[in-house]
Amino acid sequence: MLKEFPDDFDYYLALHEAVAVAMADAYSQATGNVVHVNLHTAAGSGNAMGNIQTAWFNRTPMIITAGQQTREMLLLEPLLANKNPYLQASPWVKWSYEPARAEDVPAAFLRAYAAAVQAPAGPVYLSLPMDDMDKQCPLPPAHRKVDPRLSASLDQMQPVVDALDKAKHPALVIGAALDQLPDGWNAGIKLAEKLACPVWAPPFEARPGFPETHALYQGVLPAAIKPLSEKFSGNDLILVIGAPVFKYYPHVPGDYLPKGVSLIQITDSAEEASRAPVGDSYIADPARACKVIEQAIAARKPVAPQAVSTAEAPKQPDDMITADYLFYVINELKPKDFVITQESFSNMAKLKKRIPIGKPRSYFAGASGVLGYGLPAAIGVALAERESERKRKVICLLGDGATQYVVQSFWNAAQERLNILFVLLRNREYAILKSNSKQLKAKNLPSMDLPGIDTVKIAQGYGCEGGYVRDPRQLKEVLTKALSHEGPYILQVEIDPEVPKLL
């Protein structure tokens, strides 16, 4: 496939398939465009599975091609043949296919494209026997358009409008889908302001669908059945837009909703709609639905805008830098325009509190909980920023454990001289797993610590520059320098190995 490669096509080599898929995923998320990832056959596809799962939950329009042995030998299962390309990437792709004939390869690409972009967008998988590339295509397939978005009509939304007009204390839950649709943030903000109601972010969303700096914003819902339900004790109607109902993590049983509270979900995913354990679901384009509803609902008494509750500035710790203090300082020193990618599991709640996102398309994470996304995602976002007018600085916040899954990414950052500050939170442990153990009241678990890893040295080996900080009094100075560095830089911050509560 790489023979006589066209000059007008950017092809980035990654050193591991997990890196390739996450780089491509984030590039697609940041640009809104379809992306093509080319993997080695069965083994390479296997290496990539975790991030293919993430692409599925991130709703990333991604065409994955994977190599396959020559058709002539497939029956013999030669070395590196993919034994079952239809099944291998399932259930995390929307479509997988190995063309029946070489002549079908171009049309299979067009079908893959159409499947990937249609709502809900997602990855598709094409297995391509290597001898196909030498054949001629007798008749190129026709170029055609497939509208990727669903619609939303007043006719369909009338029951939602009626329910909102009747509700005394509605609340909104706005998901990542509104950050993916170009008109999403505005549509959500207008609806929220007309309803003058509280707005929550769903648990584990990869992107904020609503400004975290807005006076109506309440924070991220807890990722467990009972505590999530309790957040809605003062409401009578919950409208969930562009998110699953809900993404839970630890099992804390209870009612899905408080007694007497009803729920409506608007999603473009039939699967998400069928999976919800409570409430009525409407399948529609979430941004368009917001607009239709906003225009049709009766005006409510405007509420006086609350002051956004900003967390109090923390004191500079005496001994060790805490994650909370680190995020506070990053928020103070960050440039006006920035993008965040992150994979720092135990510190997510603090991050959300200390570095609120006020602009769309400015924060990208993995929606799956699979480790190995946040670091290569910074590369994909930085490539998109470099191509765009914006050229924003990418700040990538990483756990010391998460980083080790995809360290090869540092090579791409160095080769492309991308403008990324990697901040590595070195607590020398899998803190979130310790939090989990506490939640489960499990004792004496092995293998929760990560001694002896110097990630700056690893990154230096791949060509990145980097440095260290452990003294809270030096943090501001060191971080200021690191932020002004042109090109990739990794700052390893020794942090307090505190084990936060899981919920």
Ligand X SMILES: Cc1ncc(C[n+]2csc(CCOP(=O)(O)OP(=O)(O)O)c2C)c(N)n1
Which one, 279 or 399, has the nearer CB to ligand X? 399
Our finding on whether 366 is near ligand X (CB under 6 A) is: no
Residue 371 as a binder of ligand X (CB under 6 A): the answer is yes
Please tell me the distance from the alpha carbon of residue 107 to that of residue 117, in angstroms, as a whole number: 16
Is 374 a residue that touches Mg ion (CB under 5 A)? no
> Residue 344, interface with ligand X (CB under 6 A)?
yes
Instruction: Please list, in sequence order, all residues whose beta carbon lies within 8 angstroms of the beta carbon of residue 170, skipping any fewer than 6 positions away.
Output: 164, 195, 197, 235, 236, 237, 238, 239
CA–CA distance, 424 with 405 (Å, rounded to integer): 14
> What φ, ψ does residue 316 adopt, rounded to 5°?
-65, 120
What minimum distance in Å lies between the beta carbon of 223 and Mg ion? 19
How far apart are CB 497 and ligand X at their closest, in Å?
8
Residue 422 as a binder of ligand X (CB under 6 A): the answer is: no
User: How far apart are alpha carbons 405 and 7 in whole angstroms?
Assistant: 32
* The pair of three-digit structure tokens given for residue 81, joined into one six-digit string: 């043949």
Residue from 399, 466, 472, 488 that binds Mg ion (CB under 5 A)? 399
Q: Applying CB under 5 A, does 286 fall inside the site for Mg ion?
A: no
Q: How far is the CB of 383 from ligand X (least distance, A)?
A: 24
Phi, psi at 38, each rounded to 5°? -110, 120
Residue 431 binds ligand X, judged by CB under 6 A? yes
432 binds ligand X (CB under 6 A): yes
Q: Which lies closer to Mg ion via its Cβ, residue 385 or residue 429? A: 429
Q: Which part of the chain contacts ligand X (CB under 6 A), choosing from 69-77, 119-127, 263-271, 342-350?
A: 342-350
Specify whether the CB–CB gap between 383 and 416 falls below 8 A: yes
Residue 399 is a binding residue for ligand X (CB under 6 A)? yes
Structural element, H or E, at residue 225: helix 225-230
- In three-state secondary structure terms, 49 is helix
The answer to the question of residue 188 lying near Mg ion (CB under 5 A) is no
Report the SS3 class of residue 459: helix
Is 343 a residue that touches Mg ion (CB under 5 A)?
Answer: no
Q: For tokens 């619609």, name the residue.
A: 151
- Structural contact between residues 35 and 65, judged by C-beta atoms closer than 8 angstroms: no
Which residues 401-440 are close enough to bind Mg ion by CB under 5 A? 401, 427
What is the residue whose two structure tokens read 């649709």?
A: 181
Residues 38-57, interacting with ligand X (CB under 6 A): 50
CB of 29 or CB of 409, closer to Mg ion = 409
| Site for ligand X contains 374 (CB under 6 A) | no
Residues that bind Mg ion (CB under 5 A): 399-401, 427
Residues that bind ligand X (CB under 6 A): 50, 344-347, 369-372, 399-402, 427, 429-433
